[in-house]
Structure 1
Amino acid sequence: MSFKVTVLPANREFTVEPGQTVLDAALAAGIVLPYSCRNGTCSTCAGQVLSGEYDAGPAPARILDAADLARGHTLLCQARPSSDLVIEAREVRMADDIVVRKMPVRVLSLEPLAPDVMEITLQLPSAEAFRFQPGQYLEFILKDGSRRSYSMACGQADEHRVRLHVRHMPGGLFTSRVFGVGAEPLKPREILRIEGPLGAFFLDPDDPRPIIFLASGTGFAPIRAMVEGMLARGDTRPATLYWGGRRPADLYQRALVSEWQSQLPGLHFVPVLSEAEPGDGWTGRTGWVHQAVMEDVPDLSGHQVYACGSPAMVEAARRDFVGQCGLSPEAFHADAFTSAADRVGAEA
């Protein structure tokens, strides 16, 4: 049977049909709650169940701490109601002209940005505009029905084209094709199928607080899209980009960030390496990228944070920024990059 879910504080209601999760039902009803991976490997969709019964599944116990679980916090992408529910979750406002749909795309080009990072440019159908919020992602639908998610690394679909930054995952079904490993390399002009735009990771235009952008590796892609969106709008909010990698090659578009700084005087850049070696000639910051933020801004109570990268980095930043630096939980916006291996681990 179906159940009613009421979302506070917006006091919005929707119905969950048999087999649906709370998140899927909300999205089907046009109510966008924060989400990223949709498979229980991050905590972006965490919300609090104030009343009602539900099956949480095993994922929340791996992701959320015991105190949050005891207060009724769960992952809405996994929760399946067994009664009517009242939940507390933030609603994300989506532009009215953004429509999620499936479509064919053509591979225009493959450009190496680093030894293990490829920029893919896709040609979208020209029949109608593909609109998205800078920071959102799309999913490739592979021949076997499996999916791979990548953020758009551009502020808009110029000339019906979008860019993606793809890191090679050794043994990865899709990324091995992208990097020409195996018998069926991905080539320009090949037709692929996608669905998008997806995700609730994009700038809040009405929040005047200074911005902390936090990226690790190719988590830079949606941050790049957000900054390009700021440039297009003339958004002058103060912002600091912390971009972390292991070695200098991981920060593959530092020159582009320097160009941004000449156009956005309020933008500051702090590159951080975790495994710099003497031969790298690195004179910048070292260590974990989220800890660099804490060193520079020990009081984050007046900031908003947009974090993207590995699940471990995103969850460490969420925990430490809120627990130690006074960041409001609603001011932490995140998109954790989860690989197919991450998803297998979450389901084990």
Structure 2
Amino acid sequence: MAPAISVAGRRVECLENQSILEALLRAGVWMPNSCNQGTCGTCKLQVLSGEIDHRDSPQETLSSQERTQGLALACQARPLRDTEVALRGADETRSTHVLHDLAGTVAKVEEIARDTRRILIDLDEALEFYAGQYIELTVPGTTERRQYSLANIADENTVLELHVRRVPGGLASDKWLFGTVAAGDRVEGLGPLGDFHVPPTEEDAGEPMVLIGGGTGLAPLVGIVRTALARHPSREVVLYHGVRGQSDLYDGGVFAELEATYAGFRFVPVLSDETSPEHRNGFPTDAFLEDIASCRGWSGWLCGPPPMVEAGVKAFKRRRMTPRLIHREKFTPADALARA
């Protein structure tokens, strides 16, 4: 008989080789989650009773002292017998979408920028998610899974849009999604995952928003921006896209159309390695600091490489943004983690 996980009065069976996080999310029990790779610590929980196997939990994220104190990473840990856990300082009643297996067909593969592709996946069954969440796809011929943010809004739940940047030598990006993949191929995975998403409609206060994306970190911000503007057409929204050069920019027409439709929306591309009279130069966090004097009452959204996200958090705090309104999604390629 499979061991069970108990949390906040709910009891959930955890199947063999299934993490505590996956078991809870599949049962519709929310818990904090972000990277699902053991690197961020978002899903850290307290083990109250029972026994767990920490599996591949990194020492950098979960120290020996923390393990002794009964802490665990839900995305890595497996219960060895019936176990009770508690979320650490989290709202245990937050709404969530149930985690599901998904399957579909590659509908389109499109080059959109330097070493960047748009992949469209036509799902066999619709997937419920919040704009900003991500899915995991299984790399064909392996048991490895890779994470890709959705560029969709919640209503676009039958054809998923992914923005993929090539990672040289990467098992998924280089060898598969820039290699063998073709329209008509079958894909499998699971989703939705992650807490980087717009709140449910009834919790959206319509506050001004500033969003900063690095490279394909733009993907989830597209769905977040479109959702936010549709709910509150008059809200102020500023989106910065940081890339190295002009050939890394994409979907300018989409943002031009949003600017034409919503008076409060502004799109600001920023180039770090090139000088262009048509674009801002430098880093998007610096452009933000130059543009906006105060962010009291604003929400902030950051998605991209860890250094950019960390710089963005500091920049938002300098402009007096409330810490609880700062949302972040650090992107570290799984192949880079494996090499580390």
Matched, 1:152 2:150: yes
Report if the CA contact (8 A) 1:32-1:200 is conserved: no
Counterpart for residue 106 of structure 1: 105
Residue by residue, what CA displacement relative to the aligned partner does 1:228-279 show, whole Å, maximum 9, x if unpaired? 32455454322111111111122211221111111121112222111114xx
The question of 1:202 aligning with 2:197 is answered yes
1:288-312 Cα deviation digits (max 9, x unpaired): 2223223333543321112111222
Match of 1:270 in 2: 268
Could you tell me which residue of structure 1 aligns to residue 287 of structure 2?
292
Task: Give the TM-score normalised by the residue count of structure 1.
Answer: 0.77
Question: Whole-Å Cα distance in 2 between the matches of residues 290 and 52 of structure 1?
Answer: 44
Question: Match for residue 336 of structure 1?
Answer: 330
Q: What pairs up with 1:1-348 in 2 under 5 angstroms? A: 23-24=21-22, 26-27=24-25, 30-42=28-40, 45=42, 59=58, 61=60, 77=75, 85=86, 87-90=88-91, 93-94=94-95, 98-125=97-124, 128-142=125-139, 143-156=141-154, 158=156, 160-178=158-176, 180-181=178-179, 185-204=180-199, 205=201, 206-208=203-205, 209-233=207-231, 235-277=233-275, 281-322=276-317, 324-344=318-338
Q: Secondary structure of 2:33's match?
A: coil
TM-score, reference length from structure 2: 0.78
Greater RCO, CA 8 A, separation 6+: 1
Q: 1:330 and 1:16 mapped to 2: Cα distance?
A: 33
Counterpart of 2:66?
A: none
Residues 189/116 of structure 1: CA separation in 2 closer, same or farther (3 Å cut): same
Deviations 1:141-199 (A, max 9, x none): 12211011111212146483121111111111222245654xxx211111111212222
Give the distance between the partners of 2:293 and 2:59, measured in 1 at CA.
29
Q: Higher mean Cα deviation, 72-81 or 138-147?
A: 72-81
* Bigger Cα displacement from structure 2, 107-116 vs 292-301: 292-301
1: distance between equivalents of 2:92 and 2:157? 31
Give the letter aligned to residue 305 of structure 2. Answer: S
The residue identity in structure 2 corresponding to 1:102 is D
Is the CA contact 2:38–2:61 (under 8 Å) kept in the aligned structure 1? no
Q: Which amino acid aligns with 2:106?
A: V
Q: Which runs of 5+ in 2 are unaligned?
A: 64-69
Structure 1: distance between partners of 2:261 and 2:289: 27
Mind listing any 5+ residue stretches in structure 1 that lack a counterpart? 7-11, 65-71
Decide whether aligned partners of structure 1 residues 215 and 3 sit closer, same or farther in structure 2, where only a CA change above 3 A counts: same
Percent identity reads 32
Q: Which moved more, 1:17-26 or 1:140-149?
A: 17-26
SS of the residue 2:143 aligns to: coil
Q: How many pairs does the alignment contain?
A: 325
Q: Give the deviation of 1:284 after TM superposition.
A: 2.9
Residue in 2 that maps onto 1:67? none
Higher mean Cα deviation, 260-269 or 16-25?
Answer: 16-25
